[in-house]
Structure 1
Amino acid sequence: MSILKRDQGGVPRADPLGDAAGTTALVLALNKPVYPVYVWFLAESAFQLSLLTALSMPLYLVVWYVSRIGNSRAARLGLVIVGVLDTLAIALIFGRESETLAFLFACLVLSGFAFYRCEVWLSRGLVAAIFFLFVLAESLIGGPLTPITAGDMQNLAYLNITGAAALVAFIALRFPRQERMG
């Protein structure tokens, strides 16, 4: 039995999942200006393209703000949607070989962790849609917008796989277990 008071939809008023979504959005926003620095050191021929990845920073800040003003469901849903759109846009910029689509796995995890038991169908629908988008994008996305050397592409792929794994780990540690769907 939960101590938290719940609204009519069964979502707690003091919303730990909304707080976790806001924190995750803020971490992603703050990482946006740092990512091009990593690319500059590890995959210099992709540096100019990497500057485009910072364009999504304001969207993550909006999600963070929405979570702060108490609109939990919008923040949680917004985080998943912004994450998916950001991932797809960056995959189009860097191309399939960059392994940027691995960040969709973080979006899948968010879809499972960021929603309450009473939102199970929303969660399942998002998981199915993201999986479908991953399969579709893997078959449709081609090369980068501008040439990236083979060695730099390999380093970029390593950076993206490692970053996606770190993000999944952060999500798994940040989202409260007792509140998630079981």
Structure 2
Amino acid sequence: MRALAALRAYGAHADPSTRIANTIALLVGLNGPFYPAYVWFLVPEAGPYALATMAMSPAFLAIPWLSRRRVTAARAALPIAGLLNTVWAAALLGPATGVGAFAYPCLALALLCWREPWLMLMLLGAGLVAQQAVLHMPVVPLAGLAVTSQSLLESLNVTSVGALMAFAAITIAREMRAA
């Protein structure tokens, strides 16, 4: 209970959009160590490569800290970190594993967490470019997985994206009810 209260306090912010960004950033950052475990369980040969995806967890976990210093930077950091993580995971595991689908929540967050249209459009454009880069990546992924292994990871990743989008929707709805 204390840990949950400490997390809530760490993610708290007076601005609702920033509070949403902080909550989602904490969820993603705290889930970082679990993703490699899921991958390792489903496709053991991809496990060592999936460990490298944890490198982005500290960036997500730092977003609430950043929000106390620079609100705009913190809200921009969430979709940017998510897009960088998406491209990084695609380089490691390959676009056929469905990791490119993680660009969708990043695009949605770029639209939902902003009141500044110019920044919203800039982040949306960056997200679309990142998504296309992942889909048409000209490099061979480091893991070099078989088609069956890629298919197993695609199911995991698409399910994870759905869960993340559902969590974001619940978080946003909770903020809207509280307003």
Identify the match of residue 161 of structure 1 among 158, 161, 165. Answer: 158
SS at match of 2:126: helix
Residue correspondence of structure 1 range 97-136 to structure 2 within 5 A: 97-116=96-115, 119-136=116-133
Confirm or deny: 8 A CA contact 1:87 1:104 kept in the other structure: yes
Residue correspondence of structure 1 range 7-86 to structure 2 within 5 A: 14-67=14-67, 69=68, 71-86=70-85
* Deviations 1:60-103, CA, capped at 9 Å, x for gaps: 11112213x25322211011111111111111111111111100
| Corresponding pairs, count | 164
Confirm or deny: 8 A CA contact 1:66 1:72 kept in the other structure: yes
> Following TM superposition, where does structure 1 have runs of at least 4 consecutive aligned residues deviating by more than 3 angstroms?
176-179
* TM-score, length-scaled by structure 2: 0.84
Partner of 2:3: none
Structure 2 unmatched ranges of 5 or more: 1-12
Confirm or deny: 8 A CA contact 1:96 1:143 kept in the other structure: no
Confirm or deny: 8 A CA contact 2:94 2:143 kept in the other structure: no
Partner of 2:4: none
Confirm or deny: 8 A CA contact 2:101 2:161 kept in the other structure: yes
Q: Identify which of structures 1 and 2 has the higher relative contact order when contacts are C-alpha pairs closer than 8 Å and 6+ apart.
A: 1
- Which structure has the bigger radius of gyration? 1
Structure 1 unmatched ranges of 5 or more: 1-12
Cα distance, 1:142 vs structure 2? 4.3
Confirm or deny: 8 A CA contact 2:91 2:141 kept in the other structure: yes
Of residues 141-150 and 164-173 in structure 1, the stretch that sits farther from structure 2 once superposed is 141-150
Confirm or deny: 8 A CA contact 1:92 1:141 kept in the other structure: no
Task: For 1:131, give the aligned amino acid.
Answer: L
Q: Distance in 1 between matches of 2:80 and 2:131?
A: 14
Q: Distance in 1 between matches of 2:140 and 2:95?
A: 6
